[in-house]
Structure 1
Amino acid sequence: MTSAVTEETWNEFHSVVNMTSRELGDWLRTQAADENTEQPPPHAGHETGRRVLAILAKRPGDLTEADAEVMQEVIDTVRAQRKPELEPEAGDGPWRHALMDIGHDPLKPPSESTT
């Protein structure tokens, strides 16, 4: 680990971000598309989601302080909106979609979480 990201933050981030890079990228592109336009992949979707996607592509030693801040923001957001055990939970569409924008699908079983 780098001094920017502790092992605890790394592990917790990968616990709450339960969508794979591919799933998150596909989701962000889908969310950015509408009937008039589709943004190119580097600009598709929620900004934090794009940053999460970039973090998922990095090795721990390549993470920066900015990455650590995004990781903690995602951890705090998911923990604030979910029960501590992170068991699959249905909710309204906008709530689920907002969590998916940052890499957490509340309906995905914990055993499937891989990045």
Structure 2
Amino acid sequence: MTDETSDVELDALWNDFHRVVNMTSHELSEWLRTRHAHEDSEELPEDAITGKGRRVLAVLQKRRMDLTDGDVRVMRQVVGMVDEQRRDDLAPTAGEAHWRHRLMSVGHDPLKPV
């Protein structure tokens, strides 16, 4: 990793990322395959997973020492997005379905206890 992130900053980001991403890699993978699979789609469900969700899955499957600069960027984006949407309160909260689904697409289920 060539990013200018210090070990202390990376440790904090790693912890924040795993705090806000409260879905397991299996749960996230299932959600993304279900969400992106369409009845008329010719893609295999695994191939239907695109975008940030796929990158979050990749980070979840890595050890901290194996992170790339791209992984660090994704982690920052996800932590920022969830913090912006949820503030500091990560208690289970019901909301509109599209809001929940948007957060679930990056690994945060607002109805799941942290």
TM-score, normalised relative to structure 1: 0.87
Contact 2:20 2:79 in 1 (8 A): yes
Question: 1:91 maps to what in 2?
Answer: 95
Contact 1:52 1:70 in 2 (8 A): yes
Deviation at 1:44, TM superposition (A): 2.4
Deviation at 1:38, TM superposition (A): 5.5
CA deviation string 1:61-85 (max 9, x = no partner)? 1101110000000000000001312
Deviation at 1:27, TM superposition (A): 0.3
Q: CA RMSD, aligned part only?
A: 1.7
Instruction: Determine which structure has more spread, i.e. the larger CA radius of gyration.
Output: 2
Q: Which runs of 5+ in 1 are unaligned?
A: 111-115
The amino acid that maps onto 1:79 is D
The alignment status of 1:109 with 2:110, answered yes or no, reads: no
Q: Quick one: distance in 1 between partners of 2:87 and 2:13?
A: 18
Deviation at 1:46, TM superposition (A): 4.2
Q: Which runs of 5+ in 2 are unaligned?
A: none
Question: 1:22 maps to what in 2?
Answer: 26
TM-score, normalised relative to structure 2: 0.88
The number of aligned residues is 109
Deviation at 1:34, TM superposition (A): 1.2
Deviation at 1:42, TM superposition (A): 4.5
